[in-house]
Amino acid sequence: MKLSFGKITHFKIFFRIEFLCPALSLPPDIDVHPDNCSTNASNAGDTCIVSCPRTGYRIYPYAAEDMYCRASGQWSEDVSNIQCEGKHVLNEVSVTKICHQIIASCILHHQKTC
């Protein structure tokens, strides 16, 4: 039996190999969205967002809030040191209070300029 395929001039075979990123292993005080980022492996291109649920806290290092799974199977950010850190935000009330304290101190010490 003879098989004949005719004349084959050329052909190309393309392969695309993508690795899965491991499920994110994060401290318990950090939220991740979508939830499956911390329970299942992620496909290349998937994006995960981490945040701190406690008021006045934010993700450190700051660049790690949004991360995506690379085709190499690695996350775009190093997740080994992610943590929530307190942030100190000066709002209008605290700035006004600080200004009043400075003015009061100037008056108390009889300084002409503050």
Asked whether the beta carbons of 57 and 85 are under 8 A apart, the reply is yes
What fold does the segment set 31-88 form as a domain? Complement Module; domain 1 (2.10.70)
**Could you tell me the residue ranges of all domains in the chain?**
31-88
Structure tokens at 43: 């496909």
pLDDT digits (tens, 9 = 90+) for 60-71: 887 778 999 998
The pLDDT-based confidence of 100 (bands split at 50, 70, 90) is: low
pLDDT digits (tens, 9 = 90+) for 63-96: 778 999 998 999 998 888 888 888 654 445 555 6
Mean pLDDT for the chain? 77
User: Which of 114, 78, 80 is CA-nearest to residue 99?
Assistant: 114
One-letter amino acid for residue 73 of the chain? G
pTM: 0.59
Q: What confidence score (pLDDT) does residue 79 get?
A: 83
Asked whether the beta carbons of 57 and 87 are under 8 A apart, the reply is yes
| All residues at 6 or more sequence positions from 19 whose CB lies less than 8 Å from its CB, including other chains | 44, 71, 72, 73
- The strand pairing partners of 32, in sequence order, are 50
Q: What b/e readout covers 50-69, taking b as 16+ CB neighbours within 10 angstroms?
A: bebeeeebebbeeebbebeb
